[in-house]
Amino acid sequence: MYRLLEFLRSIYVALLFIIIEAVAIGYYARSSQFTQARILTQSNRLVGGIHGAFHNLKHFFTLPAENRQLLERVVSLENELSLYREQAVYHALDTLASPLAGPYQYTSARVVANSINKQENFITLNKGLDYDVSPEMAVITPAGEMVGYVASCSDRYSVAVSILNTSFRASGEVLGDGHYGAISWNGLDSRYVSMSDLSKYTRIERGDTIVSTTISNYFPAGIRIGTVESFELNETRTAYNVKVRLAADMSALHDVILIKNQDLNELTQLNDRVQNKNSLDN
């Protein structure tokens, strides 16, 4: 009790000031209708600001769920777009007799493990055979940037070969030019990949966009790989070696889109049949 009295005595000046201020504000608030309206407006603004801050905070914690919903919507729209593109081609050829599924099927997945600091980097995804995920499916970001391709699957998980893997190979071209080269990673800098065997007749400049080509088995044409950082002719001066800055931030992968080329098995079997026939003939 003594300590409480000592504490009150030490702050009685400030306490008395607060009480007087409160009484003064009370009298001021009741002095006129204009004053009451003004104070009510300010108090509503303060309360509204507090409510708005709490609403924004609550909305912030719901963003991951909303992002997943948007990603699922993107996947659905990509599947529809693939169907419409395929139908448009058949309409143009006047051979469309019935609705056909597009050559590419899209689904989404979440990254559960990822590495970028090894020579052979892999990405583990939270979907596998139970979710219709299979090897040789392309992996891209929701923004349409090349990431890798699925190499192996279990029932619930899958592992993809990252573009930052020295065994990764893809075909890339300078957007708008048509000449293509081989995309690979030299195992040094996780921000860059290399494009080799690009024709010396290619019109290329620093900053040009590099995309996947129509001859890519895993990836649809037009998937963004990156931009030209630098380029030079090789030792024989017959082709360019190009340093490509990756479009995807491989250190910040969270959600990805998987793309299945439904014609891949048929194309592979056809190529194998031709190669086997040639070997027998020889």
36's enclosing H/E stretch is helix 33-61
Average pLDDT over residues 193-197: 95
pLDDT > 70: what percent of the chain?
A: 67
Give the model confidence (pLDDT) of 6-32 as tens digits: 766 777 677 777 777 777 666 665 666
Give the model confidence (pLDDT) of 56-106 as tens digits: 655 555 567 667 767 776 776 776 666 665 555 444 434 333 333 457 888
Q: Quickly tell me which residue has 């065997």 as its tokens.
A: 197
d(Cα 133, Cα 258) in Å, to the nearest integer?
A: 8
d(Cα 144, Cα 250) in Å, to the nearest integer?
A: 13
Average pLDDT over residues 130-156: 92
d(Cα 221, Cα 228) in Å, to the nearest integer?
A: 18
CATH of domain 104-263: 2.40.10.340
Average pLDDT over residues 36-49: 58
Q: Name the token pair of 198.
A: 């690009």
Give the model confidence (pLDDT) of 147-191 as tens digits: 999 999 999 999 999 999 999 999 999 998 889 999 999 999 999
- The yes-or-no verdict on residue 215 having pLDDT over 90 is no
Pick from 119, 3, 126, 143: nearest CA to 67: 143
Residue 109, strand partner residues: 256
Other Cβ atoms closer than 10 A to 45: 10
Q: Name the token pair of 272.
A: 């194998």
Q: Name the token pair of 99.
A: 């609705």
Mean pLDDT of the chain: 79
Residue spans per domain, the chain: 9-61, 104-263
239's enclosing H/E stretch is strand 239-246
Backbone angles phi and psi of 104, in degrees to 5: -115, 135
Residue type, 36: Q
The pLDDT of residue 101 is 42
Where residue 250 falls among pLDDT bands split at 50, 70, 90? Answer: very high
pTM above 0.85, yes or no: no
